[in-house]
């Protein structure tokens, strides 16, 4: 009996091929959707950490018993928040192919290897004018490089599906906001309607994105730029506590942030950077006493913090008081005390931590001066504090104090 549209893969050669296509490294974090009886899961877990999301509670329970070292989430992958991951490798339940794909493309990841119904795989790669060309074709082709790899015979599954299958590999190129997806979805409701000289289904993905950008991007003025060396820090702190999102200098690179305790402002930081909500943000404090109120550390960890801070470091420690929105639900948090006296005085005026993350679009390089700040970000923040060129000019060193591991 087919449960929830799943067909369990039983062909070892095909399973090995899927894993090989993922080019897995020991440090990779893999997300698997619909692990079923765990044939693929077991091979993945031999190479790296795996989180599997299984909707069928009975299957999830059985899998947890057979593979206790795997993180099993018994839930609907289309509804539950996905944990952070580097690669998604799955033999997908075909019934959820389209909504899964649209959700996947909203996340940050390095690579995806997915087994799909062959017809849907071809739809992803369909060209303008093809009968299969549609919303998911446009969105996937703009967001990823798409490789249609090996076709899989029906007898590789149990029970055998009525349709053919294919391995598809996706390499991300860019992330697009949901507004563009809504725009394309509405256009394709009249796919044969003419827009100029072409019908909707004849427009290339690039032409559709250009149309959206021209008609939906607000023409905003760049934010006010204030020299931090002459700024009224008390007035700046009031604006921050009222929900302002701002750019500021540090000892490393320019950061974008807000009051870390203001949920609405934190959400704006995620949106301005084009950063997914399951990728945590770090926070900055004005001094060590302020920091210790929000984290839980032992005496050795406290000594390390006192020795290295202020300085160009981000330490991963046990969270105690930073909101889960900032930490993406994790029980740890990245903390900083930048070696920049005016910024520290401002944070003390705020009275609590501020979000700290590089003032760039997600995936792009950091800014060392206000002249390197992306115009897309300058148009979205409330104000910019200019402190000249940042001394170090590169992101902070990241050290996980809970494991002793240096991450960057």
Report mean pLDDT in 10-residue bins for the chain, 408 residues.
Answer: 63 94 94 92 94 92 89 92 92 91 92 95 96 95 96 89 92 87 90 86 93 68 86 95 96 96 93 86 97 96 96 96 94 96 97 95 84 87 94 91 81
In a domain, 287, yes or no: yes
Choose among 85, 69, 90: nearest CA to 21.
90
pLDDT at site 69: 84
DSSP collapsed to 3 states, the chain: CCCCCCCEECCHHHHHHHHHHCCCCCCCEEEEECCCCCHHHHHHHCCCEEEEEECCHHHHHHHHHHCCCCEEEECCCCCCCCCCCCEEEEECCHHHHHHHHHHHCCCCCCEEEEEEEHHHHHHHCCCCCCCCCCHHHHHHHHHEEEEEEEEECHHHEECCCCCCEEEEEEEECCCCCHHHHHHHHHHHHHCCCEECCEEHHHCCHHHHHHHHHHHHCCCCCCCEEEEHHHCCHHHHHHHHHCCCCEEECCCCCCEEECECCCHHHHHHHHHHHCCCCCCCCEEECCCHHHHHCCEECCHHHHHHHHHHCCCCEEEEEEECCCCHHHHCCCCEEEEECCCCHHHHHHHHHHCCCEEEEECCCCCCCCCCCHHHCCHHHHCCCCEEEECCCCCCCCCCEEEECCCCEECC
Give the CATH number for residue 392. 3.90.870.10
- Of 158, 192, 216, the last residue of a domain is 216
Residue 2 lies in a domain: no
> Measured between alpha carbons, how far is 91 from 111 in angstroms, rounded to an integer?
15
Asked if residue 278 and residue 228 are part of one domain, the reply reads yes
Structural domain boundaries enclosing 317: 224-406
End-to-end CA distance of the chain: 48
Q: What pLDDT is stored for residue 219 in this prediction?
A: 52
Length of the chain (residues): 408
Residue 247 in tokens:
């750019």
Tell me, yes or no, whether 344 and 365 share the same domain. yes
Same domain, 244 and 374: yes
Same domain, 143 and 237: no
Is 401 among the domain residues?
yes
Residue 77 lies in a domain: yes
Q: Is the alpha carbon torsion for 269, 275, 277, 281 positive or negative?
A: negative
Q: Are residues 73 and 210 in the same domain?
A: no
* Alpha-carbon span 274 to 15, nearest angstrom: 34
Asked, for residue 3, whether it belongs to a domain, the answer is: no
Q: Are residues 243 and 101 in the same domain?
A: no
Query: What is the domain count for the chain?
Result: 3
- 272 and 337 assigned to the same domain: yes
Same domain? For 263 and 319 the reply is yes
Task: Tell me which long-range contacts 292-299 makes (C-beta under 8 A, separation of at least 24).
Answer: 293/320, 293/321, 294/319, 294/320, 294/321, 294/322, 294/333, 294/335, 294/352, 294/353, 295/319, 295/320, 295/321, 295/322, 295/333, 295/335, 296/320, 297/401
Tell me whether residue 1 is in a domain: no
pLDDT at 162: 85
Q: What is the pLDDT of residue 375?
A: 84
Mark 81-105 as b/e (b = at least 16 C-beta within 10 Å).
Answer: ebebbbbbbbbbbbebbeebbbebb
Give the CATH number for residue 105: 3.40.50.150
Same domain, yes or no: 94 and 208: no
């Amino acid at each position: 009996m087919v449960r929830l549209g799943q067909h369990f893969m039983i062909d070892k050669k095909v399973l090995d091929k899927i894993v090989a296509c993922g080019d897995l490294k020991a440090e990779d974090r893999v997300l698997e959707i619909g692990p079923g009886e765990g044939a693929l899961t077991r091979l993945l877990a031999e190479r790296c950490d795996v989180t599997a999301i299984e909707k069928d509670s009975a299957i999830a329970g059985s899998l947890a018993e057979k593979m206790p070292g795997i993180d099993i989430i018994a839930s609907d992958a289309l509804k539950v928040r996905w944990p952070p991951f580097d690669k998604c490798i799955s033999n997908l339940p075909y019934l959820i192919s389209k909504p899964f794909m649209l959700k996947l493309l909203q996340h940050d990841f390095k690579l995806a290897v997915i087994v799909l119904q062959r017809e849907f795989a071809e739809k992803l790669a369909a060209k303008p004018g093809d009968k299969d060309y549609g919303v998911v074709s446009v969105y996937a082709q703009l967001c990823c490089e798409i490789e249609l790899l090996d076709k899989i015979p029906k007898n590789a599954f149990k029970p055998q599906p009525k349709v053919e299958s294919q391995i598809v590999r996706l390499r991300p190129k860019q992330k697009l906001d949901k507004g563009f997806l809504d725009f394309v979805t509405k256009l394709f409701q009249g796919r044969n309607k003419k827009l100029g000289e072409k019908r909707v289904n004849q427009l290339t993905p690039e032409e559709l994105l250009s149309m959206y950008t021209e008609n939906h991007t607000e023409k905003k003025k760049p934010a006010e730029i204030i020299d931090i060396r002459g700024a009224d820090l008390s007035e700046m702190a009031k604006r921050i506590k009222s929900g302002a999102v701002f750019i500021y200098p540090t000892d490393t690179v320019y950061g974008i942030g807000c009051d870390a305790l203001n949920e609405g402002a934190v959400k704006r930081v995620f949106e301005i950077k084009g950063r997914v909500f399951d990728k945590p943000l770090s926070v900055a404090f004005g001094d060590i006493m302020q920091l210790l109120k929000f984290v839980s550390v032992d005496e050795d960890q406290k000594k390390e913090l006192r020795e290295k801070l202020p300085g160009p470091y981000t330490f991963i420690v046990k969270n105690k008081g930073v909101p889960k929105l900032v930490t993406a639900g994790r029980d740890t948090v990245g903390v900083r005390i930048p070696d920049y006296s005016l910024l520290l005085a401002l944070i003390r005026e705020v009275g609590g931590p501020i979000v700290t993350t590089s003032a760039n679009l997600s995936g792009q390089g950091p800014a060392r001066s206000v002249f390197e700040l992306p115009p897309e970000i300058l148009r979205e923040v409330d104000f910019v504090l200019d402190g000249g060129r940042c001394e170090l000019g590169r992101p902070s060193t990241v050290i996980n104090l809970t494991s002793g591991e240096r991450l960057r």
